Structures are given as C-alpha cells and as structure tokens.
Structure 1
Amino acid sequence: MKALILDERRTLSLVDHPKPEATAPTDVVVRVVQTGVCGTDRSVLVGKFPAEPGVVMGHEAVGVVDSTGSAVTDHKPGDRVIINPTLYCGGCPTCLEGHWDFCQNKAGTEVGLDLDGAFAEYIRLPQRFIHPMPDGMDFDRASVVEPLACALNNIEAGRLQAGETAVVVGGGPVGVVCALAAHHYGARVLLTEPDPYRQELCRQVFSHTDDGRVSVHAPDEEGLTGRGDVVIDTVGSLLEQSMEYAATRGRVVVMGYNSNASATVRPLEILQRGLQIIGAGDYNSRLFPKAIELARWLPLEKLITHRFPLEEHDEAFAALAAAPGTPYSALKVVLVPGPAGARG
C-alpha cells in the first residue's frame, strides 16, 4: 500500500509500505477513506512536537472495515467506521482507576507518532478503538469527530457553563471546533485569530448561527481583556495572553501541543485574580462516543476547505503554513488515498 512516512529530516515521503493484516484476534483493518491533517502533524514537521522517524503519520481517520481478527464481533467488512486514535492499555494502575487518557504505557501506542497511523491506504487497530459511523453521517463530518473529542475534553476540564463567556484563542480547526462546541453548550464565544484569511473562514463556518453568541476577533482587539470565564489556548504557546483575556476567577485551559513553548507568569497575579490554570491532557476515550453523538448536530464538515491525494502532501501542508514563509490558505485539510484522491 501507499503510505506517508516521516523521515529523519522531519519531512514526509510517499513510499510502498506493507499492508497491515489482522494478526491478533481483536485486530480490525480499516481501508482509509480520508484523514484530517491535525495541528499536531504540522507541529511535528515544523519541529514543535516529537515523532518517531519511520512512522506512518496521521490519526484523524475514517474508513471502511476491510478485515477483522477471529475474536471481533462488533465490526464486519464493509462497515463505515471512525477511528479513535487515543490508545490505552487498560491494565496499568492509572487505567484501572479509569484515567485512560493518562495510561502509563503510552510508548509505542501514539497513533501517527510512534505507531503507524492513517496517512495510508489501510490502518490496523484493536476493535475497541474502532467506532461505527452513524447512519446518515457523511465522511467529511465524521473526519472531524476526533478533534471534537479533543475540544470536549478541554471544555469540560474548564467546566464551561451555559451563559458564561468562552474566549477561544486560535482560529485553526481545533479552535473552531472548540467554538462550535462551546456555542452548543450555551456559552457566548469570542474567537481570536490573527490571520485575516482564517478570520474570514471562521466567520463562514459560523454563518449558520444567528443568535449573536459567536464573534471573531483579532487578538489585540479592544474589549477582549478580562472577558473570559473560560479561556482555551488552542495554540499552546499563548498562556500569558490567555491570562489577560481571563475574567476574575476565570479558568485558563492550555490545550495546544507545543514542546518548544514556555511562559512566564506571576504567581501573585494568579492568587489575587483567583485564576485557575488547567491542563486537560488527552481526552479520556469515554468521551469519544459522546463526540460522535454531538457531531450529529454540528456542521463540522464546514471546516474542510481542501482535500489532497497522498501524492500531494507537500501542497497539503503548505496550505497549513508548514513550509517556511508560506501563509495559511486553508482551514481543515484532509488527505485522501487512491488515484487523485478519489473518495471511497
């Protein structure tokens, strides 16, 4: 099969790779229909997040079951499915406490980072990480379920309530999904994004709302300071700015992954303003079915602005400003296996 492999230079190469087979009784092999490009994928290529050279990247995948192991009873060939890439062992002390998102045996199980992922024609995972796609849901909407699970994890960590104000920092795909979910929860949403092109894309996504509870702003716009009951930094490097946006007794959630980021904060400010700084980590897989159900009611497909075949991966990442000196020219990008990116 064709697959995109990360090399030692942090670039992707399209290679012939062995097709995975259902070797374990609980294995499910999925023919990938399409895979969303995540901000984490971009961070790997620009040196902001680690990944293992030689790995097949990609994790936001949907597809059709190709084959199953002998013990699989929940899925059969031909089923349309959504992949949950946040794996856990289920047997370590943390997993046994129910905190699957903090599994102590993560090494070698990070899909698309150190375990072969979904920028390929096929992917293999245990059956508990393969979820049925609801009838009537198309592949585009289902492709954004995994980012929605990430958004729910951080919104719930911030304990956002109906009637509160959420400031979402960053108008990339995850920021937009956070804003969609926060709006659905009944919050007023202020979405900040510096890039004018992405600002306009964000406004297009929210064109279906007519209740005035979502607005898109430049980061330095007046009136943002001290507004957020909950502030979510989807960029991962804007903690100080996020604290400025927070109201007294506000909750600031650090969501974005950036291993190069650092921040300087004044403990006295946290104390005197009653701020809470929250790190939610990965989502607990119990959230994934909830994200699938919520996706029925959110126009997630509106995020997808571009699709590319695997052969055009350089152009796909260039649209996300992964190449030096290039501006954003997309919101959500999906990679599609097959000739010219033909959909299955």
Structure 2
Amino acid sequence: MTSKAAISSGWKPASSGRLRQNRAFWLAAMVAVLGVLVAASLLIGTRAVTLADVTGALAGRSETIGEAVVTMRIPRTALALLAGVALGLSGALMQGMTRNPLADPGIFGVNMGASLAVVIGVVWFNIASSNAYIWSAIFGAGVTAVFVYTIGSLGRGGATPLKLTLAGAATSIAFASLVIAVVLPRGDIAGGIRSWQIGGVGGATFERILPVLPFLAVGLVLALVSARKLNAMALGDELAAGLGENVAIGRAVAALSAVLLCGAITAVCGPIGFVGLVVPHVCRLLIGVDHRWLLPFSALSGAALLLASDIVGRVAARPGEVDVGIVTALVGGPFFIWIVRRQKVREL
C-alpha cells in the first residue's frame, strides 16, 4: 500500500523482498560506518595517538600521554553518539507527526526554547546542577513546541507545514534575541554561555553524560512505541482514525518523545541544528517510509553524522577546533535550501 507520505517523498514502491534486502544492506553498512567513525573519533584530534594507546585506555591504563588523550576522547565520542541518536530521532518524529518535510528541532525553535530556559535558569535562578539544567531544557522545549504548534494552527487550514515552519523560524529568532538580552548584563558568564550556544561535544565527561541517560532512554522507548501510529498518521488523520488509531494520543506520544530527546541533549551539548532535518530525508531514500525502520535508521545515521562532523571539526582548524554545531550548520544549510526548492514552498 502506498501512503501519501511515500508519494510526497518520491519513494517508489518496491517488492517486499527487495526492500528487505535493501534494509539489511544499509543496516550492515551503517553499523560498519559507525564502527569506523568511533575508531576515528578516538584516534584523530590535535594530538595523534596509536591503536596501542586506545587499547591501553580502554583497559583502564593511562601510563602514556596518548592513553590519557584517548581517555578524554572516550566520553566525547559517547556524547557525540548519544546526541546524534537523540537529534536524528527527534527530527524523524517531528517530520512524521506534522507531515512536514522541513520539521527539525532547530527550525521549529525547540532547541532555542530549551536554550532560553537554561539561560534564564542560570542567570535569574542560579541553577548549577545537571538535573536542573536538564529539567529546565525539557520544560523550555515542551513549552516552545506547544507554542509553535498553536501559532501554526491558527487561521484557515489548521497546522499546515508552511505555517508551522514560519512560526518555528520566527520563534527561534525571537528566542535567540531573548537569550542575548538575558545574558547581556552578566558579563561574568556571558563567554561560557555564548560558547555553549554554538553547540558542541568538547569537554565531555561521564559526570555530565550520566544524568541525561534516563531521559534519553524514556524518549527512545516512546519513539519506538509511536512508530506504528506514525505510519497510520502518514495516511491522514481521518484515515488513521478509521483504522482505529487515536490520533491525538499518537501525536502526543511522539511529541513528548521528541521534546525529551532534544531537550535533554540540548542541556548537555547546547543547541545543535540541522541533524534532525538532514538525517530522516536521507534515511527515507535508503530504506523507505515505514517508521518502524525509519526511526532506528535515523538514530544510527544521526550518530554517524554527528561523529563525522565532530571529527571534521577537530582537523579543520588544527591546533584549534571548530564546534560541531558549526559543521552541522554548514552541511544542513544548503540541504535546507535544496528541500525548499525541491518541495516548492507553495506546495508545503
């Protein structure tokens, strides 16, 4: 059966046997690519290390400078993997529940809403703990998601993709300005917040990563649970309801999952844009529109993209680094323009 989502994405139906073979091939390829990128992330940086240093660090030794360097890169690699999984999944969820090819946590302003909430918490309420950061970011992401969807739903036609995109872009710009306004009087912390606002995984530690794991785990479970409902909603709300799906609950579960994922990871990494936009589109071209496959592939592909971007950022400006948020913006900006031209704004 060919859905509206399949038609709109340009995906052509294939035999079930061929589709299974394609999915198995791309799954194996993605796992292999991830393995190579993880190894590269541990080996490549401002200081070159050897495989012996990597094995020594993984064994718990730090007898050489190389092993000490790898020990610092292990949590950084783990954070890049988690951030890529969270952002790739949240983008696929947002595109699925809104049937909007331009949906992305950054474009919809959700990341910036999370950032604004964290900045307000730091500047006005002096929050300092990891849990306070995470809860503030999730609260900000949730409020922003509701706000953008409400604004995009006003007027004739309800929540159309174009209105949602415009509402999200306007909200993101407004919140970015508010972040500057809140931080401006606090010169003592302005530098750190500006650096965090760029988005990056440098300086990662397991102490920063561990508090966010329960939130990411809940978001991942909710995402996988919502896969079947997203498949039904791709046919249209009326047809999905006719098939016995509760559209409101399905959309709420998917939205909660996306908010948990992007809000929690923004608290740790800062707002990293365009991963959730690029990854689901590429995955649809490779494995089709079935969300039972699309969501796991988006998670793996998001991890691969963020790891690759972090590696590029390390070698592009040696002996310094380019934050991963800048690299993903350089990749995602042209991709965003291509999607708009391909979809034609009047058809959104």
Same-fold call, TM > 0.5? no
Looking at both structures, which has the greater relative contact order when contacts are Cα pairs under 8 Å and sequence separation is at least 6?
Answer: 2
* Structure 2 length-normalised TM: 0.29
* Structure 1 length-normalised TM: 0.29
**Structure holding more helix per residue:** 2
**Structure holding more strand per residue:** 1
